[in-house]
């Protein structure tokens, strides 16, 4: 009996010690600490996105990633310098609460802002069923990144939340302003035209996509075929999804 009591006490003490121990922070780094030359245009920290408002968890417009993914992105950036181009990230690590907010938005019929330019040919209520929005995201594991190519040193484009912009599938000059090379659609465009190898874009737009795809593939990133801007990095021990808010650097 005494041994059983001692064993139970030891288990209780171990559990208490585990609870008292500081929890390990997610293994994420600020991209600007790895490579400050990569442009950042974090769309979910502002209103230039398909929800029309900042998403929960985006307390700062910062890109966080797993260290290996951030270093690989820096290698891509170094190679692009010869072509006088730069990467520009739209989104990196995404807190789980933001993923949940996206799903909730897709099911909501109440909209304060018209953001149909992001889904000009679809009904908002169909976006979840069609797979454009999901309950889980590799972004929450810090291994996915949404990005594009911009001329190196180009000035950021000014977004006016009060302006009326054309659909994301329209001509480059009529979409919401972006200093990106013309990729055929804007970022987060819910349309078949966003499929990486869609045949409905111009030869010049297709060439820009191929340039981005080749540069990213060379350094270990895999593209999601339905989104020309989305790439994932196969990092070891990357199964854990996080909900840590993105804090100012």
pLDDT in the model for residue 144: 97
Which backbone phi and psi does 117 adopt, to 5 degrees? -65, -20
* Residue 16 lies inside a defined structural domain of this protein: no
Please tell me the distance from the alpha carbon of residue 96 to that of residue 241, in angstroms, as a whole number.
7
User: Average pLDDT per run of 10 along the chain, which is 249 residues long?
Assistant: 39 39 68 97 97 96 97 97 97 97 89 88 89 90 97 92 94 95 98 97 98 97 97 79 94
* Residue 212 lies inside a defined structural domain of this protein: yes
Judged on CB neighbours under 10 Å (0-12, 13-18, 19+), 183 is: buried
Please tell me the distance from the alpha carbon of residue 100 to that of residue 51, in angstroms, as a whole number.
12
* Structural domain boundaries, residue 62: 28-233
Q: Which tokens sit at 105?
A: 């938005």
Active site residue 227: yes
* Residue 200 lies inside a defined structural domain of this protein: yes
* Residue 52 lies inside a defined structural domain of this protein: yes
Please tell me the distance from the alpha carbon of residue 115 to that of residue 165, in angstroms, as a whole number.
10
Judged on CB neighbours under 10 Å (0-12, 13-18, 19+), 167 is: buried
Count of the separate structural domains present in the chain? 1
pTM exceeds 0.85:
yes
56's CB contacts (< 8 A; 6+ apart) are 95, 97, 98, 100, 101
Q: Which residues of 131-140 are buried (b: 16+ CB within 10 A; e: fewer)?
A: ebbeeebbbb
* Residue 40 lies inside a defined structural domain of this protein: yes
* Residue 247 lies inside a defined structural domain of this protein: no
* Residue 5 lies inside a defined structural domain of this protein: no
Which listed residue (79, 110, 174, 227) is catalytic? 227
pLDDT in the model for residue 178: 96
pLDDT in the model for residue 24: 53
Q: Rounded mean pLDDT of the chain?
A: 89
pLDDT in the model for residue 236: 60
Is the Cα dihedral 74, 79, 84, 90 positive or negative?
negative
* Residue 3 lies inside a defined structural domain of this protein: no
CATH code of the domain in which 148 resides: 3.30.1380.10
Containing 5, the helix (H) or strand (E) segment is helix 2-20
pLDDT in the model for residue 17: 39
């Amino acid at each position: 009996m005494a041994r059983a009591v001692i064993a139970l006490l030891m288990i209780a003490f171990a559990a208490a010690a585990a609870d008292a121990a500081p929890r390990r922070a997610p293994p994420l780094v600020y991209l600007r600490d790895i490579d400050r030359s990569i442009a950042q245009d974090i769309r979910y920290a502002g209103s230039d996105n398909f929800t029309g408002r900042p998403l929960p968890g985006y307390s700062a417009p910062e890109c966080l990633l797993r260290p290996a993914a951030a270093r690989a992105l820096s290698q891509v950036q170094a190679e692009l310098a010869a072509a006088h181009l730069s990467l520009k990230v739209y989104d990196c690590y995404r807190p789980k609460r933001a993923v949940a907010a996206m799903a909730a938005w897709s099911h909501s019929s109440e909209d304060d802002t018209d953001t149909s330019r992001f889904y000009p040919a679809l009904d908002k209520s169909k976006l979840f069923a069609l797979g454009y929005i999901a309950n889980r995201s590799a972004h929450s594991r810090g291994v996915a990144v949404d990005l594009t190519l911009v001329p190196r040193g180009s000035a950021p484009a000014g977004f006016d939340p009060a302006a009326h912009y054309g659909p994301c599938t329209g001509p480059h000059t009529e979409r919401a302003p972006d200093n990106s090379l013309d990729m055929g659609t804007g970022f987060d465009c819910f349309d078949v035209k966003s499929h990486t190898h869609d045949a409905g874009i111009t030869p010049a737009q297709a060439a820009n996509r191929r340039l981005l795809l080749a540069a990213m593939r060379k350094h270990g990133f895999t593209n999601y075929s339905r989104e020309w801007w989305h790439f994932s990095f196969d990092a070891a021990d990357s199964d854990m999804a996080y909900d840590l808010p993105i804090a100012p650097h």
